[in-house]
Chain A
């Protein structure tokens, strides 16, 4: 069989997958070369079309000034306000609150995404629709439903969470709820896509055995098919949680009280040491979650 990279890697979640035998490693050499050369040519073409002069890589005078000031602080992130005013909460408490609000927004978006994504994931799996009987009209209706679930999943995924945020900003203002909703739509789509792929790759024998002992279709899927994908699905959901943290932080740029807002404001105030604190806090938060989910993968991914 052709080596299919595990879907998880599609989204940057690395996992140690067995490599195909070396014979197939050297197959398709021509195609690989062709694709590599094609990619390189397209990239060169892209750079002629884009506004990317080599001079654009060299900071201007003000750029140098900012860069010097900014990078000078890299190893001395602020532990207190650079410009303290009475009555402010302690700086580190502010950082912690930024982290906490980022986590809460991500968690809020992920709860919605998990709920919607699991249902759509189940309904997007072909196993959900196969082997059902009934009159022809009902069967065609099922086919239409199946197709629309798949289309809905693709559409949800294809609009970035920040664009959803822009839309909701226009519709009812950017509140924590609309931000969580914006976050949850593409995430639900991605979870649904990955879950349905996992379900369809799962062996069917346990489910068929349950059907044979008289279980209903619903029970057959829930008890025969779902348990097999749970470890991978949980691990993947954790990985998405980590991505949601990044997205939630960025939502701060739109005015929500997450790390992005703190970072943006500190940057405009030219408080570069504070900016570094926020950057480190963001990176640390993401890395901690990554280690956490890596721990899960190591233990449970099969």
Chain B
């Protein structure tokens, strides 16, 4: 699919999400061009995960709309929605790997969206040689190729993180969304994981949106930062243009929030 310049990979328009009586996102506008890489930053509870899920078509916004490659998931039927989801690789914070399967199986499941039940079973029990090769190459790329046939739950948190990334890439998506991919990785490795994501996305020409709570990491690896706080976009500009006042606004607690936190 070719992307013209005015075509957007992801777009949120006046997006609002409410869970029960709790407003999680309010009036969010966001436009992401194909191939662009950006980081969502903000304190925990600021709505980063919800925004990513809405952008990925995993939840329907309460107000406003989302467009993925120009299509609003809310207006699609089940089959079309599945097709849209296939084009989006999602690295969840909880990874969402199947712990008792081997690593190669978990990665192969990345293509489950394009497979029938029988095709899926075949990819697990009798995988084609070329697919095993592809999986091996992907694992090599994320640095854990020797774990190809290990049971996934025997891997460390950081290694499982890489399996999840490999699975998302095996899916051959056009857009990659990663929710706090370094939350469970120790700080020394966090930089390596983020660099891996940005590098892979650049090589494959993917649109990349990552949510990170660490400002230094976001700043070092992304050209564009979007600051979220209490469900609203506080700033959205090139990293170079983000100044310390922006960050203060992002993390400074005002009195009312302190009160409601304490309650």
Which residues in B have their C-beta under 8 angstroms from that of A257? none
Whether the pair A206, B83 counts as a contact (CB closer than 8 A) is: no
Instruction: Tell me, yes or no, whether A21 is within 8 Å of chain B by CB.
Output: no
Query: Which of B108-116, B226-234, B248-256 lies at the interface with chain A?
Result: B108-116
Instruction: Tell me, yes or no, whether A224 is within 8 Å of chain B by CB.
Output: yes
Residues of A that sit less than 8 Å from B by CB: 133, 205-206, 208-216, 218-219, 222-224, 227-228, 230-231, 302
Which residues in B have their C-beta under 8 angstroms from that of A231? 100
Whether the pair A213, B100 counts as a contact (CB closer than 8 A) is: no
The 5 closest A-B pairs by CB, nearest first: A209-B96, A214-B113, A214-B86, A214-B85, A215-B112
> In whole angstroms, how far apart are the Cα atoms of A155 and B120 in the complex?
34
Residue of A nearest to B53 (CB): A212
Residues of B that sit less than 8 Å from A by CB: 56, 58, 78, 82-86, 88-90, 92, 94-101, 109-110, 112-117, 120-121, 124, 167-168, 171
Whether the pair A212, B112 counts as a contact (CB closer than 8 A) is: no
CB<8 Å pairs between A and B, sample of 27: A133-B78, A205-B94, A206-B97, A206-B98, A208-B96, A209-B92, A209-B95, A210-B96, A210-B109, A211-B85, A212-B88, A212-B92, A213-B86, A213-B109, A213-B110, A213-B112, A213-B167, A214-B82, A214-B112, A215-B113, A215-B115, A215-B120, A219-B112, A219-B120, A223-B98, A227-B98, A231-B100
| Residue from the list A133, A214, A224 in contact with B98, Cβ < 8 A | A224
How far apart are A23's CB and chain B's nearest CB, in angstroms? Answer: 28
Which residues in A have their C-beta under 8 angstroms from that of B109? 210, 213, 215, 223
> In whole angstroms, how far apart are the Cα atoms of A302 and B168 in the complex?
27
How far apart are B103's CB and chain A's nearest CB, in angstroms? Answer: 13
Given contacts A133-B78, A205-B92, A222-B117, contact A210 B100 (CB under 8 A): no
How far apart are B93's CB and chain A's nearest CB, in angstroms? Answer: 10
Residue of A nearest to B153 (CB): A302
How far apart are B131's CB and chain A's nearest CB, in angstroms? Answer: 15
> In whole angstroms, how far apart are the Cα atoms of A210 and B115 in the complex?
12
Given contacts A133-B78, A222-B117, contact A212 B56 (CB under 8 A): yes
Whether the pair A216, B82 counts as a contact (CB closer than 8 A) is: yes
